[in-house]
Structures are given as C-alpha cells and as structure tokens.
Amino acid sequence: MGMLDLVQNETIKILRRRRFLVILLILAILIPIFTYAQYRSVLTAQEQMGTSDWRALLQQKIVDTQNRLASSRLPEEWREFLKITVQQQQYYLDHDINPMAPGAPTFARGFMDQAISLFLPMIIVVLAVDLVSAEFSEGTIKLLLTRPVRRWKVLTSKYVTLLLFTSLTVLMTLILAALISGVVFGYAGWDMPVLTGFEIAGGELETAGVFALPQWKYLLMQYGLGWFVSVVVGTITFMVSVLVRSAAAGMGIMMAALISGAILTQMASSWESAKYLFVVNLQLTDYLAGTLPPIKGMSLPFSLTVLTVWGAASLVVAYAVFIKRDVTS
Amino acid sequence: MTETVLSIKGLRKQMGGKPIIKDISFDVYAGEVFGFLGPNGAGKTTTIRMLVGLASADAGEIHIGGISLHKHFPQAIAQVGCIVENPELYKFMTGRENLEHFARMSGGISRERIEEIVRFVDLQRAIDDKVKTYSLGMRQRLGIAQALLHNPKLLILDEPTNGLDPAGIRELRQFIRRLAEEEGLAVFISSHLLSEIEMMCDRVAIIGKGKVISVGLVKDLMEQFGDQVEWSVSPETTEAASRILRALPFVEEAVASKEGRIMCKMDTERIAEANRTLVLQGIAVLGIAAKTVTLEDLFLALTTEEGGAEHGHAGPGAK
C-alpha cells in the first residue's frame, strides 16, 4: 500500500505499454541522422572555404555576417541579434577557442541547443500524454480507484513515475547523442573550454562576466536546463491527460502549443506579453550560449520563473480535477 | 443475528441539475445474494458508482461493514470487491500481472493467495497470457479473481451476465450462490434481466426513476401477487363460467380476458375443485393452465404503477 508499490505498478504499466521503448527508438533513429547532417555540413563548409582551419572558417563567418549587417533592409531586431553573434564569434577567435571543434561532447551540446524547445518536449509529450487518460479510455480507472488507496496517492504515484521517466529520457538523450556521434566525430573534447556568462544589456553583449567552462560542466548545466524544461512540459501534459480523455486530442493540444511556441519565438519580438507563455520560454540553453532572447525583458531567472508557475498551476488543476471528478463511462 | 454488510440511507444525487437518485435506502446482509433491479436509466449504475466511491453522493450515507465510505474511504472500500460494468483489465499485461498490480494496491496479499484465487476461477492455464488474448468468459473470470483477491465481505457486480452465453450465465449463477452460501459473502448484483435475478437472488430491491419501489424476499414479493389460472371454455359459455368461478370462496378474482378465456387469481391446489364445479354446472372446460407469477410480471406491474411507461425498455432483454 506504500507509495513504492504504487510507483512500481505505474512503472510496469509504462514499460508494458512500450512508451519508453518508442522514445529510445526515436532517439536511436534521429541522432544518427543528425550526426550525418552535421558531418555533411562540416565537409561542405571546408570544401567551400578550401580549408579545414577553423580560424579561417570562423573569420569567414564573421565577414559574411558583417556583410549582411551592411544591408539596410534588415529589420532592427534581426540586426541586433547578428551583431551579438559577431561579437561572440570575435571573442572566441580572440581567445583562440574553437566553438565548433567536432567531437561527441560538442555534438551533444549542439543537439541539446536544437532539441530543447521542440524535439525534447515532444518526446516527453509522447511519454505523458495518456498516462492518466488511458486509464479512463480503457475503463481500468474503475478498478484503479476502487482500491484502498486515496485518489491523491494514485495521482502522485503516476506523477512520480513520470518524473522518473522524464529524468531517464534526458539522461538517455545525453548518452545516446554522445555515444552515436562519437562514432563519427570521436570522443574527445570533454575538457574543451566553452564560454558562458554572457549578459545582454540594452542590446549589447556584455562580456565582462564571461568565463570559460570545461565542456563537460557546460553539458551538465545544459542538460540540467533540458531536464527542467522536460519536467515542466511533462507536468503540463500530465494536466492535459487528466482533463482530456482522448490521447489523440491531448497529443493535438500539446503539439499545437509547442509548434505555435516555436513560431512565436520567431516573430513575437514586438508582442511583449507573449513572454508569459510557457512555449516561448523553452529555449533555456540560449542564455548559457549568450544568444539574444526572442522577446525583450526575458532572462534566465525570468524564464525559469514563468516555467515554474505554469508547472505548479498545472499540478494544482490536475489534482483538483482528478480528486473531485465523478468517474462516468 | 446476521451481519449488515452494506447499509445505504437516503442516498441522493443530481447530475446536470436533474435529480437522478431521489431517495435510495436498503441494507444487504452477509451470506445473501441481493438483486438490484430496475429498467435501464433507473439509476442502477449511478447508485453502484456511489457505492464504490467512483461518484460522490449529494446526500445520504453509505456504510460498509459499519464504516462510513465517505469518511474512511480506504478502510471501507478494502472490504469491497467489484466489477462495474465490463471487467476492463490491462489488456497489455498478463492475467497474473494484472492480479499482482491490484494485490500491490490492497497490500498484504501473498503469492499463495494469488495462486489460490487463480485456481478458484479456473484460469491456471491462461494466467501467464496477455489479457488481450482472453475470451469474454475468461475476462469475466479474471475480473472476479481481482474482485475476490483481497477477501472482501461484499461483492458488487454490475450487470454481470452481459455478453455471456447461456452456459456462462449458468456457471456464474452457481459460482455466486457458492460464494454466498459457502464463503458467507454478501453479493450485490444489479441487472435489468429479471429471469436471472429470480434464479440467483434471495432478496431484491426494485428501483424505478431513482427511487426504491419495493425491497423484500423474492418469495414474499411473488406471494403478494398469488398464482393465476387461465381457463379455456367454449366461447358461448364465457359469461356463465366466470360468474360461477367468481362465486367460489377461494377465487379472488375472475376476469374474462377474451372470448373463451378467463383469468383467475386463485390457489393452484384447488383447480380440481373449481373444475368439478364448472363441469357439474354444464360448462365445457377445454383447458386449464396454471401460471406462476414471475418476478418479471411483478416488476412490470410495480414499475408501471410508479414509473409510467419506462418498463417498456426492459422488455426486449427480459426473457
């Protein structure tokens, strides 16, 4: 009757439903594809420049960007973003650090940068979307709730199990990204210094607080932020799973939210209150890398707060509804 | 002194602003099979959902083994085993995994107890197969196994014979009688199929439109109505024959239903006596049929009185 027994039950059900297996398969199929794409782009860049020297490549990139900046038709926000990118690249060049040094850890870092706002949340949605609703749609809720266990305990056991598998998913993403890409790029580069601590003040990149971190530490911070995003998205999906009985509908709701978030971050810079939506706050790793946030006034503490509030509110709604609701078929 | 296992007092519930359950009260004792009868839509399933804590009641009290379901849910529900509607188990797990799942939720159930219950419902051979490969009958038995796993005092079955073939129904009937008589369980069965309730149950509650219409021993309820005898006589003597029958002291009522047919409410043991009287007075008796009142007739009569035309819904299934 203890919580451990209940969590064991939920774990068995997730495994028997093969949800986690599906996620591992998605990762195992997509990571090699991304690895190959990365490999091609490195090759193409070297061919175009006729050199494999990263300094020359980075210098060329800076020149390219400055040329684009010279064009007068560029929108103002975009111009600021490019300026900051140039400043950052210049900093790497001045300090003799190759930001793109190929290797398993660099790939894993790039992968999380790309995955944190859409790919990883979607995987978590697959995991969480029918955690509660399947019990209703399959009718097993009637057996689950007629046991000597209070409803809040039943829901807690499901949530704890979700946290468990969310953590496992983020961990497996890191392990698989490093393992698979290492086959192509090699496994070196864990100690390579990565710059962080950038601050954006009034559209200028503030490099005063910048410091170099060994890549493995940077990765831990990055995947920690990825974990936090996953937990929040998982919690919101969990609420949807309590509210919506059909897994397809729940999936639709979450997909629509995540994708519109991805679109909004591209174009919402002039709509300032959009920054309170959870979906535009998912790109947490950008704060580490020193990229300009999509909307003015956003910072790492701000995004963390917004996400925490959304997660907490979702939990409250999920518990209130699950405990109160009459089970009808 | 028989123990009251389930006690319901003044249960009420509204859904969508409409009162669905208006006032339901009854007791169920240990060792009896209690039938809960009513046409579809009378509120049977809603009542059962409240009994097992799936739905909340607006007013009224439910005590199981003397413990308030509302105040001490875990302790009260621990004494209940139930199948609400179909036995829906986890199809992607084996029968054994399903039982282990529910055993962990109840606590204190040994591996031996699981083995024992599997033998009891005769599922030894299929217990390690996935439930999705089970036939309906096997699912029904696994459903009963999960309901009995934790040795409940009260077994609640909602429409248990839905979808079972006649052999399955017979098997279930014997099984339920055995549980009540040998194990001393209180078994609470809801149904709209009267014939099966009549064969299985000791007492019944008949509900219509969210109210209890009648509670009592099946035998007593049926005696209230008495037996009926149908007489066939040659058509031209119908009037005379009914006059003679009505004059007999032991005949309560004699109605000429149509040409040559007379329905009598009377003791079937005195048919011969009545027949002799008719024959002596020159009536040609063509046929005599003794009709025992079934619960079905009773049910129709009761729900028609109270519930208007609703009984019509029970018709097709009530064979």
pLDDT at B318 over 90: no
CB spacing of B101 vs A17 below 8 angstroms: no
CB spacing of B106 vs A147 below 8 angstroms: yes
Residue A318 within a domain: yes
Strand B186-191's sheet: what is its strand order?
B67-68, B59-64, B4-15, B18-29, B211-217, B203-208, B33-37, B186-191, B154-158, B80-83
The sign one gets for the Cα dihedral B139, A153, A316, A281 is: negative
CB spacing of B105 vs A150 below 8 angstroms: no
Place of tokens 């601590």: A197
Q: Provide the β-strand partners of residue A196.
A: A211
CB spacing of B55 vs A326 below 8 angstroms: yes
Longest dimension (CA), chain B: 78
Q: Is A326 on the interface with B (CB under 8 A)?
A: yes
C-alpha–C-alpha distance, residues B193 and B207, integer Å: 13
Query: Residue B285: phi, psi to the nearest 5?
Result: -85, 120
3-state secondary structure of B109: coil
pLDDT at residue B304, rounded to an integer? 66
Within 13 Å of residue A293, how many CA atoms lie on the same side as its CB?
25
Q: Mean pLDDT lowest for which of B12-26, B56-70, B254-268? A: B254-268
If pLDDT is split at 50, 70 and 90, which confidence band does B313 have? very low
pLDDT at B239 over 50: yes
Name the residue among A149, A146, A142, A287 with its Cα closest to residue A229.
A287
**Neighboring chain B residues of A13 at a CB cutoff of 8 Å:** 90, 93, 101
CB spacing of B105 vs A142 below 8 angstroms: no
- Residues near B169 by beta carbon (within 8 Å), at least 6 away in sequence: B161, B196
3-state secondary structure of B173: helix
Task: Return the percentage of chain B with pLDDT > 70, whole number.
Answer: 90
DSSP B26-38: EEEETT-EEEEE-
C-alpha–C-alpha distance, residues A327 and A141, integer Å: 8
Q: Where are the beta strands (DSSP E) in chain B?
A: 4-15, 18-29, 33-37, 59-64, 67-68, 80-83, 154-158, 186-191, 203-208, 211-217, 228-233, 251-258, 261-266, 285-291
pLDDT at B222 over 90: no
First to last CA, chain A: 27
DSSP B292: P
Q: Are strands B186-191 and B261-266 parallel, antiparallel or unpaired?
A: unpaired
pLDDT at B315 over 50: no
pLDDT at B7 over 90: yes
Residue A161 within a domain: yes
**Neighboring chain B residues of A150 at a CB cutoff of 8 Å:** 73-74
pLDDT at residue A77, rounded to an integer? 63
Query: Can you tell me the mean pLDDT for B274-293?
Result: 84
Query: Residue A154: phi, psi to the nearest 5?
Result: -60, -45
Query: Residue B9: phi, psi to the nearest 5?
Result: -130, 120
Cα–Cα distance list, B109 to A5, A103, B100, B113 (Å): 12, 54, 9, 6
Q: Provide the β-strand partners of residue B254.
A: B264
The sign one gets for the Cα dihedral B164, B171, B85, A239 is: negative
C-alpha–C-alpha distance, residues A127 and A235, integer Å: 11
DSSP B133: G
Cβ neighbourhood burial of A32 (10 Å; 0-12, 13-18, 19+): middle
If pLDDT is split at 50, 70 and 90, which confidence band does B134 have? very high
C-alpha–C-alpha distance, residues B318 and B309, integer Å: 16
Residues of B with CB under 8 A from a CB of A: 49, 52-56, 73-75, 77-78, 80, 82, 84-86, 88-93, 97, 101-102, 104-108, 146
C-alpha–C-alpha distance, residues B67 and B7, integer Å: 10
CB-defined contacts A:B, below 8 A: 80
Mean pLDDT over each residue of chain B, to the nearest integer: 85
The residue that leads in pLDDT, A241 or B39, is A241
C-alpha–C-alpha distance, residues A236 and A227, integer Å: 14
CB spacing of A16 vs B78 below 8 angstroms: no
The complex's ipTM works out to 0.83
Residue A41 within a domain: no
DSSP B94: B
Within 13 Å of residue B155, how many CA atoms lie on the same side as its CB?
27
| B136-148 helix and B95-106 helix, angle to the nearest 10 degrees | 20
| B295-307 helix and B218-225 helix, angle to the nearest 10 degrees | 80
If pLDDT is split at 50, 70 and 90, which confidence band does B306 have? very low
pLDDT at residue B224, rounded to an integer? 66
Residue A49 within a domain: no
Q: Which domain holds residue A207?
A: 3-21+102-324
3-state secondary structure of A306: helix
| A247-267 helix and A215-243 helix, angle to the nearest 10 degrees | 130
| Chain segment A210-239, per-residue pLDDT in tens | 777 888 999 999 999 999 999 999 999 999
pLDDT at residue A268, rounded to an integer? 62
Helix (H) or strand (E) holding B49: helix B44-51
**Neighboring chain B residues of A144 at a CB cutoff of 8 Å:** 105
Residue A310 within a domain: yes
If pLDDT is split at 50, 70 and 90, which confidence band does B238 have? confident
Count of domains observed in chain A: 1
Residue A14 within a domain: yes
Query: What's the CATH class of domain B227-291?
Result: alpha beta
Residues of chain A with pLDDT under 70: 1, 49, 51, 77-78, 81, 101, 200-208, 268-269, 329
Strand B251-258's sheet: what is its strand order?
B251-258, B261-266, B228-233, B285-291
C-alpha–C-alpha distance, residues A130 and A250, integer Å: 8
pLDDT at B146 over 90: yes
Residue A47 within a domain: no
Longest dimension (CA), chain A: 72
CB spacing of B85 vs A1 below 8 angstroms: no
Query: Residue A83: phi, psi to the nearest 5?
Result: -60, -45
Domain B4-223 has CATH 3.40.50.2300: no
Q: Mean pLDDT lowest for which of A182-196, B60-74, B98-112, B201-215? A: A182-196
If pLDDT is split at 50, 70 and 90, which confidence band does B251 have? confident
C-alpha–C-alpha distance, residues B29 and B218, integer Å: 15
Residue A209 within a domain: yes
The sign one gets for the Cα dihedral A160, A161, A164, A169 is: negative
CA distance A168 to chain B (A): 23
pLDDT at residue A158, rounded to an integer? 97
DSSP B226-271: --EEEEEE-GGGHHHHHHHHHHSTTEEEEEEEETTEEEEEE-GGGH
Domain ranges of chain B: 4-223, 227-291
